[in-house]
Amino acid sequence: MREAVEFLRDEPFNPDQLQTNQALNTTTDDELLDAYSRAVITAAERVSPSVVYIELQQPISSRRTSDRREARGSGSGFIFTPDGFILTNSHVVHGAAKIEVTISDGSKYHADLIGDDPDTDLAVIRINAPNLVPAQLGESQNVRVGQLVLAIGNPYGFQYSVTAGVVSALGRSLRARSGRLMDAVIQTDAALNPGNSGGPLVNSRGEVIGVNTAMILPAQGICFATSIDTAKFVASRLIRDGKVSRSYIGLAGQNVPVPRRIVRYYNLAVESGILVISFEENSPGRKAGLREGDLIVGFDGRPTAGIDDLHKLLTEERIGHKTLLLVIRGTQKLELEVVPEEKNPSEK
C-alpha cells in the first residue's frame, strides 16, 4: 500500500491534462453520434421524396341496396419508376373503390390499381404526375443482420415519419392473408405502426431493401418487410400482366405424419405429408386420380412434407405440364400424373 501511495505521489496532479482527456472523450462521443445521425439524415432525405401517402375508399356491403356506405383507410407506398409506378401492400389497396395518392410536395393525385398479389402482400398502383422522384432499389442479398435500417411511412396518418433500427434476422417466413407462406422476409426492430404498411425499408445508403408489411402485436420491435428482390419480381409481373400467375391442383389438405413403418419400407425422404381432404369441382387433382385420404409425399421428384412445400413448387412454369405426384394410398406407393392449371386470384 505504501509503494502505491508513493507511486501516485511521483505523478503530480495536472488539471489541464484532465480537461484535455475529457475534451477528447467528448469529441469521440460526439463524432460517433454525428456519424449515426448523418447516416439516418442522409438516407431519410434521399428516400423521403419518393414516399407517398395512400388514401382509399372501400365499399361496405349492406343488406339494404339503397344504403351505400364506404370505409376509409390509409397506408404508405413509394415511387419506383419515373413514370409513376408505386409499390405498396396488397392489403392496403385490395378491393378499393377509389385510391388517392399524396406525394411529398403535398400534391394529390388519383391512382389506378395496376395489380395486386395477396400471396406476397404486394401491389402496384400508378399516378400520372410530373417530376416524380423514384426511389433507388437495392438488393436483398447484400443485407446483413445488424445493419442500420430506416422505415419511412405514414403511421396513423402522420405523414413522412421516420423510424430507425437494425436488421434483426433474415430469411424469416410469414403467413400471408391468402394463406400462403412468404419466404425471405426481413425482420427488423424499426418501429412500424398501422399506416406504415407499404412503405420502404431503407439501408444507410438510401436504397430500398424491403417493403414494410407487418408487425406482431402486442410484441414490441418485431416487424417484417417483404424483401426487395421478391418485390422486383412481383412488380414486373404485375406491370406486365396485372397479376402473378401460379399453378394449382385444386385440393384441400392438411399436414399429417406418415406412419414410421411406411417411411422405412419405402425409404421416403419425408416423415410427414399432405392428407387429401377434399377437391374442387373438376380440379386437376381429381382428374389425376387422387382420392380423399391419399397422402401426397412428393411432387415432380421433390419431397413435400407439407402444404407449404407444395405451394413453393406450384409455380407459373408448371401450368399445363404433366407432373408426377408421389402418393401413399393405404400401404401402397403410387405415382400419378397431374396437369396443374392456372390459379385464379380468388382461389386458394
- Residues in a beta bridge with 329: 332
- Which one of 244, 279, 297 terminates a domain? 244
The answer on 44 and 172 residing in a single domain is yes
Please tell me which residue, 151 or 281, carries the higher pLDDT value: 151
227 lies in a domain?
Answer: yes
Mean pLDDT of 183-197: 90
List the catalytic residue out of 116, 121, 294, 309. 121
347 lies in a domain?
Answer: no
Of 15-24, 80-89, 306-315, the range with the lowest mean pLDDT is 15-24
Please tell me which residue, 7 or 16, carries the higher pLDDT value: 16
Contact 253, 244 (CB under 8 A): no
Range of the domain at 107: 1-244
List the catalytic residue out of 48, 74, 76, 91. 91
The answer on 269 and 230 residing in a single domain is no
The answer on 259 and 232 residing in a single domain is no
* Catalytic annotation present for 91: yes
* Catalytic annotation present for 104: no
- Residues in a beta bridge with 115: 124
The answer on 321 and 268 residing in a single domain is yes
- Which one of 206, 224, 244 terminates a domain? 244
Ordered DSSP codes for 39-91: HHHHHHHHHGGGEEEEEEEEEE--SSTT--EEEEEEEEEEE-STT-EEEE-HH
The grid coordinates of residue 275 equal: 392428407
The grid coordinates of residue 340 equal: 396443374
The answer on 238 and 100 residing in a single domain is yes
pLDDT digits (tens, 9 = 90+) for 71-85: 788 999 999 999 999
What count of other Cβ atoms lies within 10 Å of the Cβ of residue 159? 16
Please tell me which residue, 50 or 140, carries the higher pLDDT value: 50
The answer on 226 and 255 residing in a single domain is no
CATH assignment at residue 68: 2.40.10.120
The answer on 173 and 62 residing in a single domain is yes
* Catalytic annotation present for 294: no
Has residue 244 got a pLDDT over 60?
yes
The answer on 201 and 59 residing in a single domain is yes
Calculate the average pLDDT of the chain: 87
User: Percentage helix, strand, coil, to 5, in the chain?
Assistant: 25, 40, 35
The answer on 183 and 287 residing in a single domain is no
What integer pLDDT is reported at residue 18 of this predicted model?
54
Which amino acid, one-letter code, is at 47? V
What integer pLDDT is reported at residue 17 of this predicted model?
59
User: How many domains are there within the chain?
Assistant: 2
The answer on 256 and 127 residing in a single domain is no
CATH assignment at residue 315: 2.30.42.10
201 lies in a domain?
Answer: yes
- Which one of 182, 215, 244 terminates a domain? 244
Mean pLDDT of 216-239: 90
Has residue 47 got a pLDDT over 90?
yes
The answer on 183 and 79 residing in a single domain is yes
Banded model confidence at residue 168, pLDDT cuts 50, 70, 90? very high
pLDDT digits (tens, 9 = 90+) for 245-283: 999 899 889 999 999 999 999 999 999 999 999 988 889
List the catalytic residue out of 74, 90, 178, 197. 197
Has residue 235 got a pLDDT over 70?
yes
The answer on 267 and 123 residing in a single domain is no
